[in-house]
């Protein structure tokens, strides 16, 4: 990552308006149609959450805003994206794992499976370091969730996705997903474009 002058980016006005805010985070929730994603998971034997993480990262990869993130008092530009997932460890706890995004879904799957298995076995978090803009995720399939308003600590400004259990709606499967984001990184309209892109990635998924 490298520092950039906000004035040279489209986020200049947002940087000026929101960097000094006490709580600059925004949370939006949208209900997605995950019917095709679920069908592809069952047909291919690939994990549903892995497919969702790949679609989430691929949708972000198509938006330049996701490569910019406020870190401390600076605006930083990243060249690569990753997804962070919460992993249940063999000892009964949880820890986190960064998975680098790859356009090649097979490569992403290999990394996802090997790295999460590493964290599950060791109980230690896996962190890719400062070279990646990381999209946080948390899946809670034990229960249905309408929305999740996250706690802003002032430490991590990364975008964060949360979802719970899928819902059946006639012959369709639906899943509300909450996105928390720093207002310097995204505006509400940007988040809405991201949601549309994420739905498109799920609908366009192929075997």
| 21: its two tokens | 């805010």
Tokens read off for 128: 């890719």
In whole angstroms, what separates CA 71 from the centre of its chain?
17
Alpha carbon of residue 142 to chain centroid? 20
Question: What number of other Cβ atoms are within 10 A of residue 142's Cβ?
Answer: 8
What is each CA distance from 10 to 29, 131, 207, in whole angstroms?
A: 24, 22, 37
The CA distance from 187 to 84, in Å, is 22
At 62-71, the pLDDT tens digits run: 999 999 999 9
Token pair of 53, please? 């993480």
Tens of pLDDT, residue by residue, the chain (207 residues): 899 999 999 999 999 999 988 889 999 999 999 999 999 999 999 999 999 999 999 999 999 999 999 999 999 999 999 999 999 999 999 999 999 999 999 999 999 999 999 999 999 999 999 999 999 999 998 899 998 887 777 778 999 999 999 999 888 999 999 999 999 999 999 999 999 999 999 999 875
Kindly give, in sequence order, each residue whose CB lies less than 8 Å from that of residue 147, ignoring residues fewer than 6 positions away.
27, 29, 176, 178
Q: Enumerate the β-bridge partners of residue 178.
A: 29, 162
What is the per-residue pLDDT across 141-174, written as a single tens digit (0 to 9) for each?
889 999 888 777 777 899 999 999 999 988 899 9
Write down the pLDDT at residue 30: 96
Six-digit token string for 181 = 């984001």
| Residues pairing with 100 in the sheet | 82
Here the tokens at position 207 are 């075997």
> Which pLDDT score is estimated for 206?
74
Q: What is the pLDDT of residue 148?
A: 86
- In angstroms, the CA 178 to CA 163 distance is 7
pLDDT of residue 198: 98
């Amino acid at each position: 990552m490298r520092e950039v002058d906000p004035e040279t980016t489209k986020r200049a006005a947002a940087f000026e308006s929101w960097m000094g805010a006490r709580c600059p985070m925004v949370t939006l929730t949208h209900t997605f149609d995950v019917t095709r994603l679920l069908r592809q998971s069952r047909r291919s034997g690939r994990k549903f959450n892995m497919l969702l993480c790949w679609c989430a990262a691929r949708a972000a990869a198509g938006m330049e805003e996701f490569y910019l993130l406020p870190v401390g008092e600076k605006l930083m530009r990243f060249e690569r994206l990753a997804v962070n997932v919460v992993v249940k460890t063999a000892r009964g706890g949880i820890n986190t794992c960064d998975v680098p995004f790859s356009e090649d879904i097979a490569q992403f799957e290999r990394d996802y499976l090997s790295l999460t298995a590493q964290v599950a076995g060791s109980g230690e978090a896996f962190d890719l370091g400062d070279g990646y803009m990381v999209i946080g995720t948390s899946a809670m399939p034990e229960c249905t969730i309408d929305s999740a308003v996250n706690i802003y600590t002032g430490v991590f400004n990364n975008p964060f996705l949360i979802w719970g259990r899928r819902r059946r709606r006639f012959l369709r499967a639906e899943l509300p997903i909450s996105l928390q984001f720093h207002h310097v990184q995204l505006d509400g309209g940007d988040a809405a474009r991201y949601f549309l892109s994420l739905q498109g990635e799920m609908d366009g998924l192929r075997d």
